[in-house]
Amino acid sequence: MSNKRRFFGTDGIRGKVGEEPITPETVLKLGWAAGCILGKGTTEHAKILVGKDTRISGYLLESLLEAGLSAAGVDIRLLGPMPTPAIAYLTRTARARAGIVISASHNPYEDNGIKFFSSEGTKLPDDVELAIEDMMQQPLTTAGPAALGKAKRYDDAGGRYIEFCKSTFPHRLSLEGLKIVVDSANGAAYHIAPLVFSELGAEVIAVANEPDGFNINRECGATYPIFLKKTVLAHKADLGIALDGDGDRVIMVDHRGEIVDGDHLLYIIAMDRKKDGRLQGGIVGTLMSNFGLEQVCAVQKIPFVRAAVGDRYVLAQLVEKGWDLGGETSGHIICLDRCTTGDGIIAALQVLAAMRGSGKTLADLMSGLEIYPQVMVNVRTSRRFDIKTSNPVQSAVQNVERELAGLGRVVLRASGTEPVIRVMVEGRDALQVERLSRDLADIVKRAADGAA
């Protein structure tokens, strides 16, 4: 089996629709190859769930995957628009062989992607993804007429997931008396999220919940929290909740219009769990988690470690350490005691439980975390440039770290999707951080140009 990936990235397969690998030919072959690999070892037809977000291209990709899976002799259960974490949950509870998500998450509608969940509701192991890629190199053969897979709709998938989400909120608590703005990003949770919070008693103002195939993530959702901020203030709401296009990411806004990002959310959930002894281990953040979160964890004696950027790596660290709580600044929050993957609705419910259990506002709960100023500069390079072997860059990093004197961080990271070096500096002094980040970015640019 080859160890070289052609299609799968850190979060499935993604790209612009109509360009490789998101083309009709490749997606059809992917469905067939996935059916061949994932359907092995069954005496009867394997069952695979297929869900999607609200992009116009979802219709095309859904039909292609359905055809490929059927040709491989696999039965298909079509979920329609459904949040990514819902597909993980339903795959596990329906005892399906796997789940397939058609989504490009927070990207614009022109993009789309395909990712897989195992029968346990977790990401596929690397060796299974590689086996699917190897199978895609084989000629597509069709199962005999009697062995072809059948497709049908999964009845009440949305209702089942809504009940599951509600079950993660303490039965003794209620959201009655809270006015909440819920921004579904015109995405997969548009018909799910508002109902979850309203059925728990909240007065819900639902926005960005009218998808048309093109407006997913457009000036709304977790990647554009300014819309949520304006709406919360306009309605004098107690708080706002914004998901991204596939519902696995959440950003919140308090009653003052202050944005509550993933670092704040992790802090609030961890402190609530620590208070009554429910915190299992510590927190897994990423290289981009704010230094302030690391500092407050040290003060609170909460273990804190950093994983590489990406929820896949956060999850791997959680499993390795036997911890439950981790996530990213962008709002991917994983509560492993509640679900197997990042889930924006469930993360928001854990924060709301902390509010209702303590009688405090969202603003009160986040006040104990000091967020350090952080500046990131993207440096475009003409080709792949190895920052680790560049003496001028490494020397400059050491100089910046000396000036920060232990009260900040420097992170240099090559983008996995484009020829860009991300230069990030954070510390207590905003002006100092701005100056150091720009100076360091200039040095990286000169070194990269010199190596071109």
Q: At what angle do helices 126-136 and 24-38 cross, to 10 degrees?
A: 120
The residue written with tokens 């993009």 in the block is 111
Provide the β-strand partners of residue 13.
114
Bond from prior residue into 21 cis (ω within 30 degrees of 0): yes
Neighbour count for residue 138 (Cβ, 10 Å) = 11
Catalogue the E-assigned strands of 301-391. Answer: 304-307, 325-327, 333-335, 374-380
- Cα 358 → chain centroid: 28
Q: Which of 57, 105, 118, 390 is catalytic?
A: 105
Residue 417 burial (C-beta neighbours within 10 Å; 0-12, 13-18, 19+): exposed
Q: Are 211 and 190 in contact (CB under 8 A)?
A: yes
- Cα 340 → chain centroid: 12
Residue 221 burial (C-beta neighbours within 10 Å; 0-12, 13-18, 19+): buried
The span from the CA of 390 to the CA of 165, in Å, is 49
Is 289 assigned a catalytic role? Answer: no
Q: Are 279 and 325 in contact (CB under 8 A)?
A: yes
The span from the CA of 245 to the CA of 186, in Å, is 7
C-alpha angle with apex 140: 137 to 141, nearest 5 degrees?
140
Strands 111-118 and 47-52: unpaired
Give the pair of three-digit tokens for residue 444.
Answer: 């990286």
**Positions marked active-site:** 105
